[in-house]
Amino acid sequence: MPAAVADLSAWAKLRFTGPDRKKFLHGLLTNDVLGLRPGEGQLDCVLTAKGKLVGDLALYDRGEDLVALAFAPLGDAVRAALGRSIILSATTMEDASRAFGLTLFTGAGAAEALSGMLDGALPGENGPAAGSWRCADAACDGASYTVLTYPRFREPAWLLLWPEAQRARVDGALRAAESRGALARLSSSEFEALRIDAGIPIVGVDTDADAFPAEANLDSAISYDKGCYMGQEITSRIKNLGHVNRRLAVLGLEAPAEPGAAVTVRGAEAGKVSSVQRLGSGRAVALAMMKSEFAEPGTEVAAGPGARGSVQDGGSRAGARG
């Protein structure tokens, strides 16, 4: 089967350098940055002092720097939150969003299609690293790239981070692979369907200003053993309570609903649709922040005036570090 390929170059990309870069980020992000080793990555959240979500990001240790990737709508908020304290640290944060392109490869043929473009094995392709966050240098015709695993989708996925100066080379390689039937390009709506189906939220779209990481299925982005960080006290308190009152759920619907549509269960108010994408045969997949008692897979729901369906087995697929 051909790989599914999407251009994610619009995503925010930050580079952190300097001797204190890990210590700096360790004190602000929710996961254990000091424990990262070169070639590893992880999911992290940026929180307010009250533990509310500012954004989430994928963080990778490339040895000479740390690279953070985030959905485009989160770029400004994440940069601002991290930039407030950086003046006190021997750390440099560079906005590299325009300096690098980013391409997603996923699906059954992803490993073969990507390795066909590069020299060398892919991180996480085989063995115990499969399904985990990894990164590795790669080359193509003498140019340097970074290959990163991104274990948030239902199927294995890799990100190819490439210098903007190599855009023509990358586009040519993708067109050649497409002509051989080795890959199929995803439209923005098709990528959105993948994101929603995997239960991956966009903070600020699928969450409100009062959302906590546990409500957005971002539990795997939190280390409860690392000590202090921004928002740590509230986050630990939620963990100790053992539950949250609401949780983001994936809905499989027989017809599309509109963002903002009320979700009900047996006539009772249960939540609200945040993201929705049409699928084939008139069906749709959606994300909705639901009251926890209604967010269990298999629960039958109604969304808006005419869309019925059920809660799907979706949510936190972030995988393990390393």
Q: In terms of Cα–Cα distance, which of 307, 277, 278, 303 is closest to 289?
A: 303
In whole angstroms, give the CA distance from residue 47 to residue 53: 5
189 neighbors 204 (Cβ within 8 angstroms): no
49 neighbors 232 (Cβ within 8 angstroms): no
In whole angstroms, give the CA distance from residue 244 to residue 53: 14
**DSSP string for 206-256:** TS-TT--GGGGT-GGG--SSS---TTHHHHHHHHHHT--SEEEEEEEESS-
Q: Show pLDDT as tens, one digit a residue, over the chain (322 residues).
A: 789 999 999 999 999 999 999 999 999 999 999 999 999 999 999 999 999 999 999 999 999 999 999 999 999 999 999 998 888 789 999 999 999 999 999 998 898 888 888 866 677 654 334 568 999 988 777 788 999 999 999 899 999 999 999 999 999 989 999 999 989 999 999 999 999 999 999 999 999 999 999 999 999 999 999 989 999 999 999 988 878 999 999 999 999 999 999 999 999 999 999 999 999 888 999 999 999 999 999 999 999 988 999 999 865 445 555 5
311 neighbors 251 (Cβ within 8 angstroms): yes
In whole angstroms, give the CA distance from residue 310 to residue 215: 19
- Condensed to tens digits (0 to 9), the pLDDT of residues 57-83 reads 999 999 999 999 999 999 999 999 999
Domain ranges of the chain: 3-194
**How, if at all, do strands 183-185 and 307-311 pair?**
unpaired
- Condensed to tens digits (0 to 9), the pLDDT of residues 129-150 reads 456 899 998 877 778 899 999 9
In whole angstroms, give the CA distance from residue 159 to residue 149: 6
Which residues in 266-296 are b (16+ Cβ under 10 Å) and which e?
eeeebbebbbbbebeeeebbbbbbbbeebbe
Q: In terms of Cα–Cα distance, which of 319, 321, 299, 320 is closest to 310?
A: 299
Q: In terms of Cα–Cα distance, which of 68, 55, 54, 56 is closest to 24?
A: 68
CATH architecture type of domain 3-194 = 2-Layer Sandwich (3.30)
